[in-house]
Amino acid sequence: MSRVLIVKSNLEPFRVPFYARLQERLAREGVELEVAVPRACCPPQRPPWLAPVWTARFSLAGKKVCWQAVSAQARRADLVIVQQVARELTNYTLLVFRRQAGFKLALWGHGTEFQRSWTTPLAQWVKWRLFSGIDYWFAYTPGVAEIVAQTGYPRERICTVFNSLDTDGEQQLRRQVTAEQSAALRRRLGMSSAARLICYCGSLYKAKRLDMLLAACQLLRASGVDLHVAILGGGAEKRSLEKLASRDPWLHLAGAIHGRAKALWLNASQCVVIPGVVGLAVVDAFVHECPLITTDIAGHGPEIEYLVDHVNGLKVSNEVSSLATAIRSVLEDATLRERLRRGCREAAAQFTLANMVEHFAAGVAAALRLPRLAASGAMATLQ
């Protein structure tokens, strides 16, 4: 039996269904999967694929870095897959250790920097020297695969996984929401029968540009649109939003909600609006048939390429007035709204968790089959 180890510095809840299904899929091919994460991240009831490891977190040159004790798991593995993140010191240890231990090493990630600026010219040179011989690449999206290939890395060693979340689970939650439940939510919010509800879904931090969202909503309300806004999520901007919500009854803070509660809010909303950086939230919008509106800015996650303007969402110029116009068009143009909802349904059927599992499993099979890559001029960029 071949063994695969994925090393992660955290255990995101949305990844758990992926690991569980990947383990089942690989087992059918005679491949054993382990996912090494810090002990502090592990739930009391540990699934069979989860490997708790000792972890050290500290600051280095003003940056938070992480090191995980995975040598025992790596020695048992034929393939080790690590995050494409420069601050993970474990990656450098595994680079040195892999020849001695005999495993192949692969990267899984964005292919380039999107929201962070971690790289200096010296660090970039070090990465180029160290990671030019990585054996395989798991790219989030086709665009990421192209970025990696343009560095000179062999295309036959790149797998596009089509990064997604638990779409089956989200679909099930969406179908459980009733019209009566949505109507009850509107009454609880004090909305009139003519009022419209839109929502924001994600973490609350500056790069999401919630100030721009609220400015667009104020512009619409000033023009006579009876608009309410729901903010789904938690984070650094929560306190300032609480002050605004105490003053403006049309602004509702739902908090960091998941599962049925999130599905209810999305079902009751006519669109999701995230003016700032967008990642996997676009898949959430597809699954719940709640079209996403965002702005055409740098810094989006790679999943933004799933959004096709005026097909399954809207991407507008970086201006408050443009954002407000786009929101109004979705609220008032039933034909546009239905076209976008149809596009969401089609995209949701394409970017599924099952699709991601199949692509990832195919990449694992290819990485195990191929010989090690000799060091070359190809560069595997880290964030």
Which residue in 169, 179, 196 sits closest to 267, CA to CA? Answer: 179
Strand pairing category for 55-60 and 63-68: antiparallel
Over residues 41-83, the pLDDT tens digits come to 999 889 999 999 999 998 877 778 899 999 999 999 999 999 9
Looking at residue 209, its pLDDT comes to 97
Residues of the chain with pLDDT below 50 are 115-118, 376-383
Looking at residue 59, its pLDDT comes to 85
Looking at residue 378, its pLDDT comes to 46
Buried b (16+ CB within 10 A) or exposed e, 64-97: ebbbbebeebbeebbbbbbbbbbbbebbbbbeeb
Within 13 Å and on the Cβ side, how many CA atoms surround 246?
6
* Residues paired with residue 316 on neighbouring β-strands, in sequence order: 295
Q: Which residues contact residue 160 at a Cβ distance below 8 angstroms, ignoring those fewer than 6 apart?
A: 139, 140, 141, 142, 144, 145, 359
Looking at residue 284, its pLDDT comes to 96
Q: Which residue has the tokens 């003016």?
A: 275
Q: How far apart, in whole angstroms, are the C-alpha atoms of residue 142 and residue 305?
A: 9
Q: Are 379 and 150 in contact (CB under 8 A)?
A: no
Looking at residue 117, its pLDDT comes to 45
User: H or E element: which one contains 3?
Assistant: strand 2-7
Q: Which residues contact residue 28 at a Cβ distance below 8 angstroms, ignoring those fewer than 6 apart?
A: none
DSSP letters spanning 34-79: EEEEEGGG--SS--TTEEEE-EEEEEETTEEEEEE--HHHHHH-SE
Q: Are 291 and 274 in contact (CB under 8 A)?
A: no
Over residues 114-143, the pLDDT tens digits come to 544 445 565 556 555 566 689 999 999 999
Q: Are 293 and 323 in contact (CB under 8 A)?
A: yes
Looking at residue 60, its pLDDT comes to 77
0.85 surpassed by pTM: yes
Within 13 Å and on the Cβ side, how many CA atoms surround 41?
21
